């Protein structure tokens, strides 16, 4: 692509500079605040991104992607009780959204973190079913099954996540050891 650099870090640094320029030129622009939030999220500075997304959403309470991204930042910054209402609202506003599998996964992960494994599995399976070639969704489904002690479906989902992922992303998960210890119980 034109105007792209050789590394993601350099692209993010360039985006950071452009977002700063946009905010300097138009400090009340919701799009400039959204751009800054996106950069902060890419830098994994989730807590700092939250007020930027909130500023963007103040101009348009129905901005579905900003709502989802805000929920994601709240999840990663530890405010998990605020995630489901945000993502649920995004789903209600855009029930056929192309990113709905990510919305389902986000809700499922929150349920998983809150030890509501059955609810988590239901949402995570919806995400997987909408995007069956997405390895992370399969890994989360595997996690939910494993937490329920359902070793065979967990192993199958993890094997598929490994097959679909590039670079051995899920290869460090100790499947055999984990599942063999579960079977002995």
**How does residue 82 score in pLDDT terms, banded at 50, 70 and 90?**
very high
83-92 confidence digits (pLDDT tens): 999 999 999 9
Give yes or no: residues 67 and 139 share one domain. Answer: no
What is the percent of the chain with per-residue pLDDT over 90, rounded to a whole number? 84
Q: Which of 108, 23, 19 is nearest to 71 (CA)?
A: 108
Give yes or no: residues 87 and 110 share one domain. Answer: no
Residues in contact with 155: Cβ distance below 8 Å, sequence separation at least 6, in sequence order: 142, 175, 179
Dist. CA 182–CA 142, nearest whole Å: 14
Residues in contact with 137: Cβ distance below 8 Å, sequence separation at least 6, in sequence order: 101, 105, 124, 127, 128, 131
Q: What is the pTM of this model?
A: 0.85
Q: Which range of residues forms the domain containing residue 11?
A: 1-91
182, pLDDT greater than 60: no
**Domain final residue, candidates 40, 71, 91:** 91
Mean pLDDT, rounded, for 19-41? 97
Give yes or no: residues 107 and 75 share one domain. Answer: no
Structural domain count of the chain: 2
What is the percent of the chain with per-residue pLDDT over 70, rounded to a whole number? 89
Count the residues in the chain.
185
Dist. CA 29–CA 138, nearest whole Å: 38
Give yes or no: residues 146 and 70 share one domain. Answer: no
65: domain CATH number?
Answer: 1.25.40.10
**Domain final residue, candidates 67, 91, 115:** 91
52, pLDDT greater than 60: yes
């Amino acid at each position: 692509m034109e105007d792209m650099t050789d590394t993601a870090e350099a692209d993010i640094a360039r985006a950071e500079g452009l977002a700063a320029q946009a905010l300097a030129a138009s400090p009340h622009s919701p799009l400039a605040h959204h751009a800054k939030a996106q950069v902060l999220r890419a830098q994994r500075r989730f807590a700092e991104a939250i007020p930027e997304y909130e500023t963007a959403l103040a101009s348009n309470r129905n901005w579905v992607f900003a709502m989802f991204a805000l929920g994601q930042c709240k999840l990663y910054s530890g405010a998990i009780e605020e995630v489901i209402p945000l993502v649920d609202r995004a789903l209600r506003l855009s029930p056929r959204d192309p990113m709905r599998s990510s919305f389902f996964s986000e809700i499922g992960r929150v349920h998983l973190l809150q030890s509501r494994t059955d609810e988590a599995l239901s949402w995570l399976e919806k995400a997987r079913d909408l995007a069956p070639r997405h390895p992370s969704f399969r890994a989360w489904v595997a996690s939910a099954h494993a937490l329920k002690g359902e070793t065979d479906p967990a192993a199958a989902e993890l094997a598929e996540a490994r097959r679909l992922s590039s670079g051995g992303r899920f290869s460090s998960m100790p499947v055999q050891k984990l599942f063999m210890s579960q079977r002995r119980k």
